[in-house]
């Protein structure tokens, strides 16, 4: 069977009949679309001829073909509404009207559907996200990652935890790389500082962390620390597509001619 091509007006009427049970008559349609009864009748009668609707007394009902078309149009409408709620929050009435316009842009249809599917998958994540579950979702498209470093201190007298000065030696952006053995790519950068009249340079050379097998050391490679993703067991689901995890690292750095060791809590946030 050849795919039926509907006009924008026919799609609007199709959704009206589908989503407004008990109001599928000419009077209600003319009110809804702010048009004359004559115009509403002309459009709906044409859809009867096409086999999309049938008349039951003064009511217009969906045929089997019409029901199938309506389900597909509703799916596209819900996808568009979901996307707009995420990227352009506004009043529901306005959002619905925008969604009803967007579904008619053919070039956007597949992209909107994929985006909506991803948002639904994110919405199904639990509060405590297993690393494997995160990777199943993350691997489908790239996501932005951000890094913050906090001081590791034994002093519990202060509730506020300061950012670590070591943050200056790392890029605030992180990414997950590799499919077979995924790892966090944490990029480092050179710090230059004038101290006692001398220009001193500092660079992190190694990151050390502990797991069930003891201490592990990750050396700098091409400006990046490749930390195995399995070192993180769980991520916290912050909502709105954000997940976060933290890991304590011992930072081994070279400052001028002196080796320096410091500890910091690396907090990684992914925007899925």
pTM above 0.75, yes or no: no
User: What's the pLDDT at 1?
Assistant: 40
User: What's the pLDDT at 156?
Assistant: 54
The residues pairing with 146 across neighbouring beta strands, listed in sequence order, are 173, 269
pLDDT (average), residues 46-63: 94
The answer on pLDDT for 134 being more than 90 is no
Contact 236, 227 (CB under 8 A): no
> In this structure, are strands 214-219 and 198-211 parallel, antiparallel, or unpaired?
antiparallel
The answer on pLDDT for 7 being more than 60 is yes
Range(s) for CATH 1.10.10.10 in the chain?
Answer: 8-122
The answer on pLDDT for 140 being more than 60 is no
pLDDT (average), residues 254-265: 86
> In this structure, are strands 224-228 and 214-219 parallel, antiparallel, or unpaired?
unpaired
* pLDDT-derived band at 155, boundaries 50, 70, 90: low
Query: In angstroms, rounded to a whole number, what is the distance separating the alpha carbons of residues 225 and 204?
Result: 10
The answer on pLDDT for 139 being more than 70 is no
Fold of the domain built from segment(s) 8-122: Arc Repressor Mutant, subunit A (1.10.10)
Contact 182, 229 (CB under 8 A): yes
Average pLDDT, the chain: 87
Contact 151, 162 (CB under 8 A): yes
Burial class of residue 207, CB neighbours in 10 A (0-12, 13-18, 19+)? buried
State pLDDT tens for residues 20-44.
998 889 999 999 999 999 999 999 9
């Amino acid at each position: 069977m050849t795919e039926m091509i509907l006009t924008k007006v026919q799609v609007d009427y199709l959704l009206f009949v589908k989503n407004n049970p008990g109001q599928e008559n000419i009077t209600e349609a003319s009110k809804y679309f702010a048009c004359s009864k004559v115009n509403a009748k002309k459009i709906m009668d044409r859809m009867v001829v096409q086999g999309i609707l049938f008349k039951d007394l003064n009511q217009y009902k969906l045929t089997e073909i019409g029901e199938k078309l309506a389900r597909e149009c509703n799916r596209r409408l819900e996808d568009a509404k979901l996307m707009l709620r995420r990227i352009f929050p506004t009043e529901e009435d306005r959002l619905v009207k925008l969604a009803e316009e967007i579904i008619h842009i053919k070039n956007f249809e597949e992209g909107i559907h994929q985006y909506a599917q991803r948002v639904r998958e994110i919405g199904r994540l639990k509060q405590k996200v297993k690393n494997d579950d995160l990777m199943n979702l993350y691997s489908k498209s790239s996501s932005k990652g951000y890094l913050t470093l906090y001081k590791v201190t034994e002093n519990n007298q202060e509730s506020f935890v300061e950012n670590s000065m070591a943050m200056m030696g790392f890029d605030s952006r992180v990414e997950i790389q590799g499919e077979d053995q995924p790892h966090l790519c944490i990029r480092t950068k050179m710090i230059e500082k004038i101290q006692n009249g001398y220009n001193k340079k500092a660079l992190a050379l190694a990151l050390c962390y502990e797991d069930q097998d003891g201490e592990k050391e990750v050396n700098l490679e091409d400006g990046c620390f490749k930390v195995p993703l399995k070192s993180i067991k769980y991520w916290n689901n912050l909502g709105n597509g954000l997940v976060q995890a933290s890991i304590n690292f011992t930072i081994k750095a070279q400052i001028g001619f002196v080796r320096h060791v410091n500890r910091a809590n690396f907090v990684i946030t992914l925007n899925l």
